[in-house]
Amino acid sequence: MFASAIYDTATHTAPVPALDRSPSGAFKVGSDAHKRAFCSVLIDVFDPYKPSVLAWPKLSADAEKRLTSLPFWNIAVQTEGFASSRMQAMADTIVDPTIKEALSLNAFEEGRHKLVIRNMLRFYGIPLQEEKPYSTPQNAEALFIRTGYGECFDSFFAFGLFKMAKDSGYFPP
């Protein structure tokens, strides 16, 4: 994986650049400005945190029971694994080095999400099924688009549900 080799010991913390937009505020699709803006979203805001050093809080017995009883942890890990595999498959089809780096970094980030979840599960003693290998996608572009669209839904619902769980007291503050 291209990005994991580069960013394993990453220290890249550049500030977010001002995006070069046309006077109308829109990019011409496929333009160099469009490419720079797309790639900067993935490259320039990269946070080099390491999942293995995240400190998980000690939970009360009730909170830990609620967390460990949730039935979707295997699906969450698999979803991030598939997302990483699909993002990297798309990156592998790209010739432009800047776009390739941006997509590889996104694949790395999706894989890191999987590691965060796995480490949390390990810390709280939540069993996880063995993962099957992720096959190489046959239609990288279609799965890239589908995965990106799915990530929007995942974020919208997951962040909303976690906020509701926190606000209701189901999850601790």
- Asked whether the beta carbons of 94 and 35 are under 8 A apart, the reply is no
* Percent of residues, the chain, with pLDDT higher than 90: 50
CB atoms within 10 A of CB 35: 15
- The distance of Cα 57 from the centroid of its chain, to the nearest Å, equals 22
Number of helices (H), then strands (E), belonging to the chain: the values are 6, 0
Whether 84 and 152 have beta carbons less than 8 Å apart is answered as no
pTM: 0.78
pLDDT band at 113 (very low <50, low <70, confident <90, very high): very high
Q: How far apart are CA 55 and CA 115, in angstroms?
A: 14
Q: Mean pLDDT, the chain, as a whole number?
A: 84
